[in-house]
Amino acid sequence: MKLKDEKILVTGGAGFIGSHLCDRFIAEGAEVVCLDDLSTGFVRNIEQLMDHERFTFIEGDVRNLDTCRNAVKGCTQVSHQAALGSVPRSIKFPEQTMSVNVQGFVNVCKASFDAGVERLVYASSSSVYGDVIELPKVEHLIGRPLSPYALSKQTTESFAAQCALHYGLSCVGLRYFNVFGPRQHPEGPYAAVIPRFVRALDQQQALPINGDGQQTRDFTYIDNVVAANLLALTSRRQDTHALYNVAAGGQTSVNTLAELLLELYFDEVGDTDVHQKIIYGPKRQGDIEHSYADIGKAQHELGYRPHVSFSEGLQRTVTSLQRNRQQHG
DSSP assignment letter at 39: S
Residue of 122, 129, 149, 176 marked catalytic: 149
In angstroms, the CA 146 to CA 152 distance is: 11
Q: Tell me phi and psi for residue 280, to 5 degrees.
A: -95, 135
Residues linked to residue 119 through DSSP beta bridges, in sequence order? 77, 170
Q: How many CA atoms lie within 13 A of 327 on its CB side?
A: 8
b/e for 284-300, b at 16 or more Cβ within 10 A?
eebebebbbbbbebbee
Asked if residues 160 and 102 have their Cβ atoms less than 8 Å apart, the reply is no
Q: Are strands 119-125 and 77-80 parallel, antiparallel or unpaired?
A: parallel
DSSP E strands, 218-262:
220-221, 241-246, 252-253
Helix (H, G, I), strand (E, B) or coil at 91: helix
Is residue 122 annotated as part of the catalytic site, yes or no?
no
Catalytic residues: 149
